[in-house]
């Protein structure tokens, strides 16, 4: 019956009946002289006048306001008190009729948002249809991902489905259907959970669900803070008469933390612990120092001279132990391998000297076609690398008098040579002005690895003992010092300060500090590498203070 009333109230047929009913009332009032109508008369007349369907009485046309109220609801916002057409001409005794709009507003209470996992479960949503509690694990995972994507990580439920059922009950603020917060899409406050890591989501992320802390916290590691390297030296020493010669090696740092520097005809020792300067020797006016090299224990110093001799000195007593000859001209490079001292000369030869025997040398290595300007023993003392002005890089062993490996890729003199302390058989070399490249080689497979163009003359190379990094010093045309991270060969720092080619380089025994020398007659100390984890620094704050002093 109620559905029939609704249909009649909303149809044009019912409105036409209302108009006829009002017209009949007006005529009846005029006939009765405004004194009212007889009981039952209008109903009988209307029943006779109107063409009603069989079985329908005139009472079915009474639009009861109570029925409408129960259908629309007492507090319906769509209820309107509109007068019928021509109601202004009706007398005050006629009943007032109420008309309703035919716009349909659906009830949100019949919607089931739980089925899409868009809302958290909470007691305040009891009037919403409950989803099936026995969901499968894949449905729970999908629910977690969808909620995290739409509402952010704060609205994401725990990873286990059991905890997800009671999440909104424990935290009603996070439930969009809670009485205190009915706004489904609301602004969130940037509250950082204690112990969590704030990571901004990249706009270039390929993840379809964004960055979810609950899902990725186990796989995301904290980002490493880049190590800061001071761009200026913390100490500068004046080094008068420090020669500007690419083929010489005049600076070396001992394991006892003593720096040896060849200045003209003299060799000076500077203690990093006490800042004390000691004059070790003076070769006289007819000779000059071309190279210096400490033994591995740091007690003896070898000095190569311009006349082709090699002198061995006791640094603690400042006493010369012996002089070894064999070269016809200057000795520009020295390298210690256990008890064997190797010397390279402008005469293109390399002499192997065993300091335990009386002979000046035990073997001669022949292969370079020009001056030998770079020598370096591997850390296991099994292989010797040599570089020459003939653009060649050779690798020798103890038994051979001919190179076992030859690398000819450089286009300029090879002075910079360094063995990696972290990987067996990894050798780095640098070329001169016409080459400007740092190349890496695998001496175990005799294969070249990588090549990097530095843009300027490579004068020296040294590996860090603490981390997998290396330092290169350069000459023409930028005179810079570069710290590299291997194997990416990314630049960690570029240090400037020298006004001439940085021809000399040595590293401290703790592996943290390097000293560089140039033709501008200065020695500069730089902190470039981190300290070893199992070893404390050897510096004394009273000694390693900022300032400029003289080495002699």
For 352, the 3-state DSSP assignment is strand
Report, as an integer, the average pLDDT of 117-125: 48
What does the pLDDT read at residue 58?
64
Query: Does residue 217 surpass a pLDDT of 60?
Result: no
3-state secondary structure (DSSP) of residue 137: helix
Mean pLDDT of 497-508: 94
pLDDT tens profile 5-35: 444 444 565 566 667 767 777 776 666 655 4
Q: How confident is the model at residue 302 (pLDDT cuts 50, 70, 90)?
A: very high
Q: Rounded CA gap, 508 and 318, in Å?
A: 22
Average pLDDT over residues 313-327: 93
Kindly list the distances between the CA atom of residue 235 and the CA atoms of 35, 523, 525, 527, 540, in Å, as whole numbers in the listed order.
121, 8, 5, 10, 13
Q: How many CB atoms lie within 10 A of CB 40?
A: 8
Residue 2 phi/psi, 5-degree rounding, is -65, -40
The mean pLDDT of 75-91, rounded to a whole number, is: 41
Q: What is the CA radius of gyration of the chain?
A: 48
Paired residues of 461 in beta bridges: 472
Low-confidence winner among 12-21, 418-427, 459-468, 512-521 (lowest mean pLDDT): 12-21
Is residue 304's pLDDT more than 70? yes
Percent of the chain past pLDDT 90, that is, above it, reads: 50
Average pLDDT over the chain, rounded to whole?
75
- φ/ψ (deg, to 5) at 413: -60, 140
Q: Which tens digits make up the pLDDT trace of 525-542?
A: 999 999 887 444 434 333
pLDDT the model gives residue 463: 93
Question: What confidence score (pLDDT) does residue 68 get?
Answer: 45
What is the CA 132 to chain-centroid distance, rounded?
Answer: 43
Range with lowest mean pLDDT among 48-62, 263-277, 349-363, 465-479: 48-62
Which residue has better confidence, 118 or 233?
A: 233
Looking at residue 142, what is its pLDDT?
A: 78
pLDDT at 5: 45
Residue 192 has pLDDT above 70, yes or no: no
The more confidently predicted of residues 51 and 8 is: 51
> Burial, 315: exposed, middle or buried (Cβ in 10 Å; 0-12, 13-18, 19+)?
buried
Query: pTM for this one?
Result: 0.60
For residue 257, what are its two tokens? 């933390």
The whole-number pLDDT of residue 207 equals 52
Residues 6+ apart with CB under 8 A from 392: 367, 368, 369, 406, 407, 408, 410, 414
Phi/psi for 82 (5° steps) reads: -105, 140
Higher local confidence (pLDDT), 47 or 234: 234
Q: Identify the band that residue 147 occupies on the pLDDT scale cut at 50, 70 and 90.
A: confident
How many Cα atoms are found within 13 Å in the side-chain-facing hemisphere of 371? 17
pLDDT at 462 over 90: yes
| Domains assigned to the chain | 2-89 (no CATH), 112-181 (no CATH), 235-550 (2.130.10.10)
Sheet with 447-453: list strands edge to edge: 414-419, 426-431, 437-442, 447-453
pLDDT greater than 60 at residue 187: no
Which pLDDT score, from 0 to 100, does residue 160 have? 46
């Amino acid at each position: 019956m109620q559905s029939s009333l609704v249909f009649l109230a909303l149809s044009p047929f019912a409105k036409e009946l209302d108009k006829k009913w009002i017209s009949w009332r007006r005529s009846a009032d005029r006939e009765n002289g405004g004194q009212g109508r007889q009981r039952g008369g209008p109903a009988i007349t209307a029943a006779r006048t109107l063409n009603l369907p069989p079985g329908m009485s005139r009472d079915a046309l009474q639009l009861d306001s109570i029925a409408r109220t129960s259908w629309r609801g007492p507090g319906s916002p769509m209820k309107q008190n509109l007068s019928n057409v021509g109601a202004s001409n009706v007398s005050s005794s006629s009943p007032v009729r109420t008309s309703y709009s035919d716009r349909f507003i659906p009830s949100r209470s019949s919607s089931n948002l739980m089925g899409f996992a868009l809302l958290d479960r909470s007691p305040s949503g009891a009037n919403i249809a409950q989803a099936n509690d026995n969901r499968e694990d894949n449905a729970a995972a999908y629910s977690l991902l969808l909620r995290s994507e739409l509402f952010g990580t704060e609205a994401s439920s725990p990873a286990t489905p059991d905890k997800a059922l009671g999440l909104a009950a424990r935290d009603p603020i996070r439930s969009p259907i809670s009485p205190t917060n009915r706004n489904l899409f609301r602004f969130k406050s940037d509250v950082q959970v204690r112990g969590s890591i704030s990571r901004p989501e990249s706009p270039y992320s390929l993840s379809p669900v964004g960055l979810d802390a609950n899902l990725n916290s186990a796989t995301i590691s904290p980002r490493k803070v880049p190590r800061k390297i001071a761009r200026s030296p913390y100490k500068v020493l004046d080094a008068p008469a420090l020669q500007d010669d690419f083929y010489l090696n005049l600076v070396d740092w001992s394991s006892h933390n003593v720096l040896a520097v060849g200045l003209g005809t003299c060799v000076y020792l500077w203690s990093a612990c006490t800042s004390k300067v000691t004059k070790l020797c003076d070769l006289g006016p007819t000779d000059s120092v071309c190279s210096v090299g400490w033994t591995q224990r740091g007690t003896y110093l070898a000095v190569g001279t311009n006349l082709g001799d090699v002198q061995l000195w006791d640094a603690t007593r400042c006493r010369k132990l012996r002089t070894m000859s064999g070269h016809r001209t200057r000795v520009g490079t020295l390298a210690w391998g256990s008890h064997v001292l190797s010397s390279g000369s402008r005469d293109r030869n390399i002499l192997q000297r065993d300091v335990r025997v009386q002979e000046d040398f035990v073997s001669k290595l022949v292969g370079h076609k020009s001056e030998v300007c770079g020598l370096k023993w591997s850390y296991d003392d099994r292989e010797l690398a040599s570089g020459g002005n003939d653009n060649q890089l050779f690798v020798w062993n103890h038994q051979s008098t001919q190179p076992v490996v030859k690398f000819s890729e450089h286009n300029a003199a090879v002075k910079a040579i360094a063995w990696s302390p972290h990987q067996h058989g990894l050798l780095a070399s640098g070329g001169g002005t016409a080459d400007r490249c740092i190349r890496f080689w695998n001496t175990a497979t005799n294969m070249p690895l990588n090549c990097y163009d530095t843009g300027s003359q490579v004068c020296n190379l040294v590996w860090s003992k603490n981390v997998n990094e290396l330092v290169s010093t350069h000459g023409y045309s930028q005179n810079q010092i570069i710290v590299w991270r291997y194997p990416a060969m990314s630049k960690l720092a570029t240090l400037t300060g020298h006004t001439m080619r940085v021809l000399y380089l040595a590293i401290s025994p703790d592996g943290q500090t390097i000293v560089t020398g140039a033709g501008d007659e200065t020695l500069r100390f730089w902190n470039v590498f981190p300290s070893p984890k199992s070893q404390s620094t050897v510096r004394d704050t009273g000694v390693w203070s900022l300032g400029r002093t003289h080495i002699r």
